[in-house]
Structure 1
Amino acid sequence: MSKEVETQYVPVAEIGVGAYGTVYKARDLQSGKFVALKNVRVQSNENGLPLSTVREVALLKRLENFDHPNVVRLMDVCATNRTERETKVTLVFEHVDQDLKTYLEKAPVPGLPVETIKDLMRQFLSGLDFLHSNCIVHRDLKPENILITGSGQIKLAYFGLARIYSCQMALTPVVVTLWYRAPEVLLQSTYATPVDIWSVGCIFAEMFRPLSSLLCSMIGLPVEEDWPMDMALPRCAFSPRAPQPVEKFVPELEPLGARLLLEMLTFNPHKRISAFNALHHLYLQDKPPEEG
């Protein structure tokens, strides 16, 4: 597992810099193919690497065994000791040319066709259902962390915040991206897989048009019974606000699609639709029944 990364992988371009490290496009000298290198410098403890890094590597290696078409593949792990206190870890992924954010920005006016959005959502949810069925919460789903190949294949990527969960485990509120955070994260409650579904709903709406904070206006202030007892802020701390119709914000979305969006953006995580059920929602079927 440990070897000098420089002898096999030659960086050719910097792809991006995030809170958890830098990502480079590089050439694998053995295969001649391009790969993505994610460099992370981590503080070593008395036992070597900290648990968070060991956890991420173990998680990615576990996913590699399944080789799901909609999850980016980990190809190699290289660790190079820098000092007694710091270790450089390089994760080598399959390389994909662009992310969903770039893909959406390149879409010609008036935007992506509905059938293309449905296809992307089916792939997105298939990858996410795979993660959730393996007890993995991504925790940082956003367009920049969803890759898309030249042939239109979705790949979920960048598991810097991913955690393996159990039903009894309360995850920490340390996640990065604000706009795609679920209410239970913002309000510092406990959470698990439903946190990813909220992010999916935000991205689903964004495939039609940029929405940002308008989503909060759309769903309104939840009823008292849906406000969890362990939240840091009481419901009375917020001004009453009635929900607004989806058509006001996403007029391009047909009724079945609006229903799916609202099931994803359900405030109570216990009532929020699962990745499996969303994947099999009538809106995403090839020939949904007529509205009656």
Structure 2
Amino acid sequence: MANTTSVQYEPVAEIGGGAYGTVYKARDIESGQFVALKSVRVQTDQNGLPISTVREVALLRRLEQFDHPNVVRLMDVCATQRSDQETKVTLVFEHVDQDLKTYLERAPAPGLSPDCIKDLMRQLLCGLAFLHSNRVMHRDLKPENILVTSQGQVKLADFGLARIYSCHMALTPVVVTLWYRPPEVLLQSSYATPVDIWSTGCIFAEMFRRKPLFCGESEVDQLGKIFEVIGLPPEDEWPTDITLSRKNFPPLMPRPIADVVSEINEQGGKLLLNMLTFDPLKRISALNALEHPYFHDDETLTQTKS
């Protein structure tokens, strides 16, 4: 990791900000190309940067060598010591002009075509399968963290940085949207890569609906809205390592998915329910989702016609 400042990059505009710092669109002074600069403040220990941060950056750099088409490219990492207790790590990513949220908002009525949604979902799951096969969890998938190029190429962004952020998050009152959080995280139970599949399911539904699927105002309210769609899970699926009791929720039956996402076809509805499965161990994986008939029914039709 280069111990240099970001003098090579000239900020052009602020793209966004959050608890972790500000993201800028910047110009590489040498090449003239646009990049996205993301600065993260990391608490340092006696030996400099914590090993978890060094490991995370090393993993990001290793992923970059694969040059996966559906993962945003990490081009450079610069570290600047601000004080004995804090170091600023600047991550330099390729710049993409719009995210999925903007892409959905700009789509003319009545919204994205079923074929376009299928293509976006396939790309999103390809990127996710790649991350998960390298033991990287995204942990914060939402339309704002999925980039779409002008050619319609999907690129996952803001991934794999949760551990870099962890020490700083403890110091910041973070208000993150609950709407894409899976039940195991809302219940503060243990979690793994299936968290990203739940979020992807929420995004899948949103592409059809043009509005978020579950809009809770608190963690308990969010769970209530989820159970209104998928039903209250059985007692034997309720996590045992949590304080919130299943008895806090009314006994609800699942609603037909077509009532909630009216434009989705039958196979799409089945895939969505496989993603929005309460028990993370029973939730479909990204690799298996790519094999789902939803992605292959067009091919079957073509073969039948020929």
TM-score, normalized by the shorter chain, greater than 0.5? yes
Distance 2:183 2:81 in 1: 40
Corresponding letter in the other structure for 2:296: Q
> Aligned AA for 1:270?
L
Q: CA RMSD in A?
A: 2.0
Q: Which moved further from structure 2: 2-11 or 186-195?
A: 2-11
1:227: Cα distance to partner? Answer: 1.5
SS in 2 for 1:198: helix
Flag the 1:151–1:15 CA change in 2: closer, same or farther, 3 A.
same
- 1:12 paired with 2:23, answer no
Cα shift readout 1:47-103 (whole Å, capped 9, x = no counterpart): 112344324312211211211100011110111112222211110011111111111
- TM-score, structure 2 as length reference: 0.87
1:130-156 per-residue CA deviation (whole Å, 9 max, x = no partner) reads 011111111111111111111000000
Q: Are 2:248 and 1:237 aligned?
A: yes
Higher helix content, 1 or 2: 2
- Shift of the alpha carbon at 1:286? 5.7
- 8 A Cα contact 1:56 1:159, kept in partner: no
Matched, 1:23 2:16: no
Q: Give the letter for the 1:95 counterpart.
A: H
Alignment correspondent of 1:56: 56
Match of 2:292 in 1: 281
**Within the alignment, does 1:146 sit opposite 2:151 as a pair?**
no
Structure 2: 5+ residue runs without aligned partners? Answer: 165-173, 216-224, 302-306
What are the superposed Cα offsets for residues 182-216 of structure 1, whole Å, 9 maximum, x if unpaired? 10111111111111100000000000111233544
What residue is the counterpart of 2:134 in the other structure?
A: 134
How far apart, in 2, do the equivalents of 1:212 and 1:184 lie?
15
Partner of 1:201, secondary structure, is helix
Could you tell me how far apart the structure 2 residues matched to 1:44 and 1:105 are? 41
Q: Which amino acid aligns with 1:231?
A: I
Structure 2 matches for 1:92-131, cutoff 5 A? Answer: 92-131=92-131
C-alpha distance in 2 between matches for 1:238 and 1:232: 14
260, 265, 286: which is aligned to 1:254? 265
SS at structure 1 position matched to 2:15: strand
Q: Name the residue aligned to 2:170.
A: none
Q: Which moved more, 1:199-208 or 1:59-68?
A: 59-68
The code of the aligned residue for 1:31 comes to: S
Q: Please state whether the residue corresponding to 2:75 is helix, strand or coil.
A: strand
Q: Secondary structure at the match of 2:208?
A: coil
Task: Show the 5 A alignment for 1:67-216.
Answer: 67-159=67-159, 161-162=161-162, 176-209=176-209, 210=211, 211-213=213-215, 214-216=225-227
Q: Distance in 2 between matches of 1:263 and 1:19?
A: 33
Number of the residue aligned with 2:221: none
Count of equivalent residues: 281
Q: What is the CA deviation profile of residues 11-65 of structure 1, one whole-angstrom value per residue up to 9, with x for unaligned ones? A: 1001100222211101111211101100112222211123443243122112112
Question: In 2, distance between residues paired with 1:246 and 1:108?
Answer: 25
Change (3 A) 1:261 1:240: same
Aligned-partner residue type, residue 284 of structure 1: F
Of 265, 274, 287 in structure 1, the residue corresponding to residue 276 of structure 2 is 265
Compared with structure 1, are the counterparts of its residues 222 and 283 closer, same or farther at alpha carbon in structure 2 (3 Å cutoff)? same
**Shift, 1:7, TM fit:** 2.5
The aligned counterpart of 2:229 is 218
Aligned-partner Cα distance in 1 for 2:83–2:48: 11
Deviates more, 1:133-142 or 1:206-215: 206-215
Q: 1:279 to 1:56 in 2, by over 3 A?
A: same
CA–CA distance in 2 between the matches of 1:128 and 1:102?
A: 21
User: What CA distance in whole angstroms lies between the structure 2 residues aligned with 1:52 and 1:176?
Assistant: 23
Q: Is the 1:131–1:137 contact (alpha carbons within 8 Å) kept by the matching residues of 2?
A: yes
> Which shows bigger deviation, 103-112 or 113-122?
103-112
Q: Contact between 1:142 and 1:199, CA under 8 Å: does it hold in 2? A: yes
Amino acid at match of 1:136: V
Overall identity of the aligned pairs, in %: 69
Contact 1:136/1:162 (<8 A) preserved: no
Shift of 1:4: 3.4
Structure 1 residues 215 and 254: alpha-carbon distance in aligned structure 2, compared to 1, 3 A threshold: farther
Question: Kindly tell me: are residues 112 and 42 of structure 1, through their superposed partners in 2, closer, same or farther at Cα, counting changes over 3 Å?
Answer: same
